[in-house]
Amino acid sequence: MTTVLGKATCAANMNREVRYLHYIKAICLDLDDTLWDLAPVIRRAEQAVYTWLAEHYPQVTRIYSARDMRSLRQNITAEFPGQCHDLSLLRKQTYARMAAKAGCSQQMVQQAFDVFQTVRNDVSPFEDVVPALQRMNENYSLLALTNGNADLRQIGLADYFDYIFTARELGASKPDPVVFDHVCRHSRLDPSAILHVGDNPRNDIEAARQSGMTTAWVNRKSLPWPELLAEPDYMVTDLEGLADLLSR
């Protein structure tokens, strides 16, 4: 039975389920769309790159529109199926293709990527995130596990985490079980002692469940749970609800 919690705690199921949380030693958190809203950040970052290119490499923007740049990024992903875990590489390949087409120096590639990363890491965490991290950090080891290329140091949240696992460093991305197995081995914990928390039913919750982890789905948009998937152990509408549950 799944426990559902938000800022207002639903106590009906909690007493039956909360006892299992005594086994939790570490909390593994997804980043994008769990700690902040990703889509507007990526839009701003891509627009910043295009504006920068128009100023410093106008020959590129004479060939590519902003929409063309996004389409090329998608095509590059299809061309490198074995590198889907490395979003930084795919982004750089996009800029490299644009530079070559426009006859620009490959020096442009790193410069454009730096512009993208600066804005990509200018995120505003959901208002519940920092208070919840502060509370959970007092009693649990906090881990980050992300398919993205966010830099928690630049964002200002790195100090809450004992370790940060990225798909690029692991050579694989969620939902690959290799990723979750690595987290367990590195933590030296039984999978059931790790609570994996994320927003994606398949990449986060189902994959973590299959690896033996305890799971908590952060459902900020009140979406229905996919019928074909086994339910998570816990559902929360925000991290404050998760912190409330853990505190009991």
Task: Count CA atoms closer than 13 A to 205's CA, side-chain side.
Answer: 23
3-class DSSP state of 27: strand
pLDDT for the residue numbered 219: 97
pLDDT for the residue numbered 7: 41
- The fold of the 38-120 domain, in CATH, is Four Helix Bundle (Hemerythrin (Met), subunit A) (1.20.120)
pLDDT for the residue numbered 20: 67
Cα separations in angstroms, 246 against 17, 37, 113, 171, 189 = 11, 24, 39, 32, 18
Architecture of the CATH domain 3-36+125-247: 3-Layer(aba) Sandwich (3.40)
CATH 3.40.50.1000 residue spans of the chain = 3-36+125-247
Enter the pTM of the model: 0.90
Cα separations in angstroms, 71 against 66, 78, 87 = 9, 11, 15
Q: How far apart are CA 173 and CA 164, in angstroms?
A: 14
Radius of gyration of the chain from its Cα atoms, rounded to whole angstroms: 20
pLDDT for the residue numbered 19: 54
What are the pLDDT tens digits along the chain (248 aa)?
A: 355 544 433 333 444 455 568 889 999 999 999 999 999 999 999 999 999 999 999 999 999 999 999 999 999 999 998 899 999 999 999 999 999 999 999 999 999 999 999 999 999 999 999 999 999 999 999 999 999 999 999 999 999 999 999 999 999 999 999 999 999 999 999 999 999 999 999 999 999 999 999 999 999 999 999 999 999 999 999 999 999 999 87
CATH 1.20.120.1600 residue spans of the chain = 38-120
